[in-house]
Amino acid sequence: MRKDELVCGVHPVMEALRSELHVEKLLIRRDAGGEGIRDLKNLARELGVPWQPVPGEKLDRLTTTEHQGVIAFISQVAMQDLDGLIAQAYDRGEDPLLVAMDGVTDVRNMGAIARSAECFGAHGMLVPKTGTARLGSDAVKSSAGALLRKPVCRVDSLPFALDRAREHGLRIIAVTEKAETLIEDGDLTGPVVLVMGAEDVGISPVILRKADALVRIRMAGTIGSLNVSVAAGVVLHEVLRQRSAKGAA
């Protein structure tokens, strides 16, 4: 993690929240109190920036700077509104294609998925604000810079965001080894949100219940699943193949 991704201290963090910087989350020492900390929590809550109480030792490990009990994580990645992103795709005469992350916590996987999304024509990524990998320099590096070009929507609630996408006409397609339908047999054309699950447990039950369709990747080996970033690349390529074939028909 680069030092310029951290802002430390009550007043600097307050200014970061009020600025054009993209603050991902705050860490606040558990026993930190006073008017400044209270105002900071209220502003973070008002702006929808998550904060987490942590032991002071954790803050000390992150920085040697005087932190006054609070550290903000700054993302290099610009965030975009979900409704606006979908509208832009429709305005260009294109079927929106989004990739949603349900519990993807490895920054290298996040970056690799963003790279595949860029290569195969996805319009953007849908990422929960909590329980997911940070979009810092490590993720940007893993994405080969794609995270600086591919729009990212950070949302408070992934289920709610999927409902919003459906209201705009997008189908929710979950990629899971639990599915019976192979990706080449499913219809991946039209406006779509592809949902990719956590590295260890896959897609959560609440998100699976939101899906309009479940699809899986054909496997030939004895290991039953792929790394999530590899799986995302395979499915996104199939989406491009189907869309290209439909356009040529």
Which pLDDT score, from 0 to 100, does residue 2 have?
Answer: 59
Token pair of 55 as six digits: 């032991």
CB within 8 A of 105, min separation 6: which ones? 131, 132, 133, 198, 199
* Cα–Cα distance, 82 to 148 (Å, whole number): 17
- How much is the pLDDT for 194? 98
Predicted confidence at residue 131, as pLDDT, reads 87
Hey, which residues does 194 pair with through a beta bridge?
99, 173
pLDDT along the chain (249 residues), means of 10: 76 88 89 93 92 94 91 84 95 97 94 95 94 84 87 93 98 96 97 94 95 96 88 97 82
Distance in angstroms (rounded) separating the CA atoms of residues 206 and 197: 12
Q: Is 145 exposed, middle or buried (0-12, 13-18, 19+ CB in 10 A)?
A: middle
Which residue ranges does the chain devote to CATH 3.30.1330.30?
3-75
Alpha-helical (H) ranges within the chain are 10-18, 35-47, 56-62, 82-91, 107-119, 137-142, 158-167, 205-208, 228-248
CA 204 to CA 105: how far, in whole Å?
14
Instruction: State the Cα torsion 171-208-83-5 to the nearest 10°.
Output: -140
Q: Are strands 22-29 and 51-54 parallel, antiparallel or unpaired?
A: parallel
Separation CA 45–CA 57 (nearest Å): 24
Nearest to 28 by CA among 61, 63, 77, 68: 68
Q: What's the pTM value of the predicted model, to 2 decimals?
A: 0.81
Who's near 160: CB < 8 A, 6+ residues apart?
none
- Cite the residue boundaries of each domain of the chain with CATH code 3.40.1280.10: 82-248
pLDDT of residue 248: 55
* Domain 82-248: CATH architecture, name and number where available: 3-Layer(aba) Sandwich (3.40)
User: Exposure string (b/e) for 12-45, b if CB count within 10 Å is 16 or more?
Assistant: bbbebbeeeebbbbbbbbeebeeebbeebbeebe
User: Which residues have CB under 8 Å from 134's CB, separation 6+?
Assistant: 24, 73, 75, 107
Instruction: Round to whole Å and give the CA distance between 128 and 133.
Output: 9
**φ, ψ of residue 21 in degrees (nearest 5):** -65, 150
3-75: CATH homologous superfamily?
Answer: Ribosomal protein L30/S12 (3.30.1330.30)
Q: Based on DSSP, count helices (H) and strands (E) in the chain, helices before strands.
A: 9, 11
DSSP 237: H
C-alpha dihedral, 222 to 224 to 226 to 232, nearest 10°:
130
